[in-house]
Structure 1
Amino acid sequence: MTATQPASRYRWMILALVFFATTINYIDRQILSLLKPMLDVSIGWTNTQYGWVNSAFQGAYAIGLLWFGSFVDRAGVKRGYQISIIGWSVAAILHAPIILLVGMSLTLPSWLGWLANPQTPLVVPAAFVAFLVARVLLGLFEGGNFPAAIKAVTQWFPRRERALATSLFNAGTNVGAIFAPALVPPLAYFLGWPWAFVLAGIAGLLWLLQWGPKYDSPERRPEVNAAELAHIHSDPAEAPGRSPPWQRVLCHRQAWSFITSKFLTDPVWWFFLSWLPDFFKKTRGLDIKNSWVHLVTIYVIITVLSIGGGWLSGLLINRGWSVSRARKTGMLCFASLVVPIILVSKAGDWQAVLLSGLAGSAHQAWSATLYTTVSDMFPKRAVATLIGIGGMAGAIGGMIFQVFVGSLLDRFAKLGNASAGYATLFGICAGAYLLAFVINHLLAPKFEPLVIRE
């Protein structure tokens, strides 16, 4: 009798590639926030203008998500990821020449006066305008990461493993946030801030050397044996068909459960990424040379705890819970764990680190579970499209929130009370997830497969 061949594990190799792409993606986007104290001095922009730079990125990111979501469903994960990472790597490198504009000014046309410095209404730093353009390019191409990543997980993992797989690759957002504070400031101080952007772009291009030869559908990879292929396709077979147009997807209220949840909660994560270094500097007197250890600790906590969050719903499903009950239980727990962030402004430095780490890990566990609900309800051929639309909604929410944050902090700065400004913002963050959970539940009482007409 021939022994049964053990299943190969090539799907985990694919997940590792997606993890590293996500790590590079988040290093690229966090560089600007880490360099903000240095750029505040060299460029001379205001909090409002910095908020507009982040808002421009998020607006472009929203467009990129929408376009790449549809493109990945039509052209495939491999090609979608290749175009996305080539584009964002080149865009990152293009930040470097902005140093040549430091010290120069531009006069804006009168209809753009709202972008200007309040003291000189129509004159702005030239480097500020250049950063707006560079961040738009970066945002457009970084929009391909999550539609491609979630589509890859959907193709390579059965439903019961997807929440864990999503939380594992999504941990790349945290690992990127860990490495960025440890690497970017030394690079900026010893080589100059442009090199931080250049080296991040080179890292993305090096990743492509591994992606091209190693990725394809499970059926076409010789490393995948019959046992692993059977495991990947162990869910009930879906009806074949083409990718549906986004209008067809939006006809279902369950799609809006994902979209509204992204709109309400993604801005919180963007706020953490963009403003935590400034929070420690303005309220604790800790510049990036002294606060990097706090930031690294926050993202280490987030990395460890968020993976456990992705594991939770899979554990409950394996114990006989329905998919809906398991996912919703997890989401309610994660939403509740963000609430203590409301206390962060009055906490000590390391208490603030722990509260930020708890809230950030709860967000990432929430996010991984929320992403998984898309493949719980929608067929594989529609997953990237909906991920793109929902990601666009989250980016638009983040875009609006970034402008609000910058404007609010400038108002409190004039009053000499930055701590009160941040207290207001953390209070908003504390309640966003519970509100999102209620709306999500009303729109999708159960996470069950839908039939999508072509």
Structure 2
Amino acid sequence: MITKPVITPAANPQVPKPVGNYRWRIVALLFFATVVNYVDRTVLSFTIIDDNFKRDMLGLSANQPLTEAAVAEFKVQMGYVDGAFKLMYALGFILIGWLIDRIGTKKGYSIGIFLWSLAGIGTAFVGSLMGLRFMRGLLGLGEASNFPAAIKTVAEWFPKKERSLANGIFNAGTNIGVILTALTIPFLTLAYGWRASFLITGVLGAFLLIFWWVLYSKPEENKHLSKEELTYINSDASEEQAQEKIPWIKMLSYRQTWALMVGKFLADPIWWFYLFWLPDFFNTNEALDQKLDLKTVGIPFLVIYLVSDVGSIFFGWLSTKFMQMGWSLNKARKTTMLICALCVVPTFFASLTNNIYIAIALIALAASAHQGWSANLYTFGSDLFPKSMVASATGIGGMAGAIGGTLFGIITGIVVAYVGYLPLFIFASVAYLLALGIIQLILPRLEPIKKSEIA
């Protein structure tokens, strides 16, 4: 009788050896950082519906009435304030993206965290629109570090096939940040005043800075990372020109750069429109049968941004799943982005319906699709560029988005004050399809910059 040999799992080449999961702890750190980033960013969005804040910024005394003319002027001025944030955000993407690639993710991101925390705390002490514009500009400069640092970190810690999911997870922190802001800032503002809201949230950045400095290191320098996981992280390193250096100005000569810039220029302003103006939309839009104030605004935002979190992770997973099924990177990314763009189309009806629940549902779907779009667009930096230039590529793309946001933000204040929200929601409905169409024209196939093109 012939006895068949017993094959143990260790001897069976078909059984993959566990590689560890420390890299997902790094994603958790990025998620926490992004939460704090968005808490500090969105405090103002809820503060602008506080009457005391309006009076302070307009230079009115506590007992002076807020006339329609004063409210209209306030909205116009908030458009300029929002524009100051985004203008410096655009500049910050270039400066800090470049800095991160030169001095490393750990040091570069630390500088960004310090700047935005300083601005957050400083806003608690402003007493004029000029001071508010200055602090929001400084906030934008510092906060621009978040995504270049996070995308570069993902490129350093993950192989290509896992990057869209990793990006989707940390990007979900944007929504949690907005949710926490929506649930806490109205309470803090009503109980302690708007200045306390900025002071308390600004201090969060100091704790983040400590966590980041203590916990982060590159994979090759991390003592807790197994050799197997490090090998897995670098499994497709041979496909990337990791050591190539491209001056950021030269990157404008590549189609890949322009594809990333278009996707950000047209889509990012919509997301910022939601972040900054939704509290005012629910507070003042005449079409709605219910109006929300500081006491009631929290729950709708909880719904909208929880759904957004689902979209960020789901569409990041979907793109990864398509690639695991054997789809090309080009097909997986663009198909997922097309689905996201189509989900946004019905959004215009949110400004027409008088049913607040329908408006919330439509905006939640649109915000979810935007986060899915962003999770895939963020991977362009690591899909198309060498690792050593991921932060700069992301910075250039972010700059384009911030420029679009600056222009859209200034226009929004004027349109909201004198026309209403409908034109803005119509543009939001078609922006993603327009962006994807232009990306397809510029870059019919998503493929990395060739080594011969760099020389």
Q: Would you call these one fold, judging by a TM-score over 0.5?
A: yes
Partner of residue 54, structure 2: 40
Give the number of the structure whose alpha-carbon radius of gyration is greater. Answer: 2
Partner of residue 320, structure 2: 314
| TM-score normalised by structure 1 residue count | 0.90
After TM superposition, give the deviation of residue 262 of structure 1 in Å.
0.6
Residues 8 and 223 of structure 1 are in contact (CA less than 8 Å); yes or no, is this contact kept in structure 2? no
Partner of residue 389, structure 1: 396
Q: C-alpha offsets along residues 257-291 of structure 1, whole Å, 9 cap, x if unaligned? A: 00011111100001000100000011242212122
What does 1:432-447 correspond to in 2, within 5 Å?
Answer: 432-447=431-446
Cα distance in structure 2, aligned partners of 1:331 and 1:240: 27
2:274 is equivalent to residue 268 of structure 1: no
Q: C-alpha offsets along residues 281-338 of structure 1, whole Å, 9 cap, x if unaligned? A: 1124221212221122111111122210110010000011111111110011101110
Q: C-alpha offsets along residues 180-208 of structure 1, whole Å, 9 cap, x if unaligned? A: 01011111111221121112221111112
Residues 31 and 169 of structure 2 are in contact (CA less than 8 Å); yes or no, is this contact kept in structure 1? yes
Change in CA separation of 1:236 and 1:79 when aligned onto 2, cut-off 3 Å: closer
Cα distance in structure 2, aligned partners of 1:145 and 1:239: 24
2:235 is equivalent to residue 234 of structure 1: yes
Cα distance in structure 2, aligned partners of 1:324 and 1:70: 27
Deviating more after overlay: 50-59 vs 277-286 = 277-286
Partner of residue 255, structure 1: 257
Q: C-alpha offsets along residues 369-399 of structure 1, whole Å, 9 cap, x if unaligned? A: 0111221111111111111011011001000
Change in CA separation of 1:5 and 1:366 when aligned onto 2, cut-off 3 Å: closer
Residues 90 and 144 of structure 2 are in contact (CA less than 8 Å); yes or no, is this contact kept in structure 1? yes
Cα distance in structure 2, aligned partners of 1:241 and 1:26: 33
Partner of residue 169, structure 1: 170
Match of 2:36, SS?
helix
Cα distance in structure 1, aligned partners of 2:294 and 2:35: 21
Residues 308 and 364 of structure 2 are in contact (CA less than 8 Å); yes or no, is this contact kept in structure 1? yes
Cα distance in structure 1, aligned partners of 2:302 and 2:346: 20
After TM superposition, give the deviation of residue 5 of structure 1 in Å.
6.6
Out of 113, 133, 140, which is 1:85 matched to? 113
Cα distance in structure 2, aligned partners of 1:202 and 1:376: 35
Out of 392, 409, 413, which is 1:406 matched to? 413
Partner of residue 19, structure 1: 31
2:372 is equivalent to residue 360 of structure 1: no
Cα distance in structure 2, aligned partners of 1:240 and 1:276: 42
For structure 2, list consecutive stretches of 5 or more residues without a partner in the other structure: 1-7, 11-15, 59-72
Q: Which letter does structure 2 place at the counterpart of 1:251?
A: S
Partner of residue 425, structure 1: 424
| RMSD of aligned alpha carbons | 1.5
Residues 249 and 382 of structure 1 are in contact (CA less than 8 Å); yes or no, is this contact kept in structure 2? no
After TM superposition, give the deviation of residue 441 of structure 1 in Å.
0.9
Q: Which letter does structure 2 place at the counterpart of 1:444?
A: L
Match of 2:20, SS?
coil
Partner of residue 66, structure 2: none
Identical amino acids, percent of aligned pairs? 43
Q: Which letter does structure 2 place at the counterpart of 1:293?
A: I
Matched residues, number: 419
Residues 241 and 387 of structure 2 are in contact (CA less than 8 Å); yes or no, is this contact kept in structure 1? no
After TM superposition, give the deviation of residue 240 of structure 1 in Å.
4.7
Cα distance in structure 1, aligned partners of 2:245 and 2:193: 46
Partner of residue 69, structure 2: none
Q: Which letter does structure 2 place at the counterpart of 1:262?
A: K
Cα distance in structure 2, aligned partners of 1:2 and 1:278: 60
Cα distance in structure 2, aligned partners of 1:291 and 1:41: 21
Change in CA separation of 1:137 and 1:236 when aligned onto 2, cut-off 3 Å: closer
Residues 74 and 243 of structure 1 are in contact (CA less than 8 Å); yes or no, is this contact kept in structure 2? no
Out of 326, 336, 339, which is 1:330 matched to? 336
Q: Which letter does structure 1 place at the counterpart of 2:430?
A: G
Q: C-alpha offsets along residues 92-114 of structure 1, whole Å, 9 cap, x if unaligned? A: 0001112xx3xxxxxxxxxxxxx
After TM superposition, give the deviation of residue 236 of structure 1 in Å.
4.3
Partner of residue 340, structure 1: 346
Change in CA separation of 1:316 and 1:192 when aligned onto 2, cut-off 3 Å: same
What does 1:150-165 correspond to in 2, within 5 Å?
Answer: 150-165=151-166
Residues 151 and 381 of structure 2 are in contact (CA less than 8 Å); yes or no, is this contact kept in structure 1? no
Residues 73 and 243 of structure 1 are in contact (CA less than 8 Å); yes or no, is this contact kept in structure 2? no
Out of 96, 110, 122, which is 2:124 matched to? 96
Q: Which letter does structure 2 place at the counterpart of 1:48?
A: V
Cα distance in structure 2, aligned partners of 1:345 and 1:262: 24
Cα distance in structure 1, aligned partners of 2:173 and 2:133: 26
For structure 1, list consecutive stretches of 5 or more residues without a partner in the other structure: 102-126, 413-420
Q: Which letter does structure 2 place at the counterpart of 1:205?
A: A
What does 1:211-222 correspond to in 2, within 5 Å?
Answer: 211-222=212-223
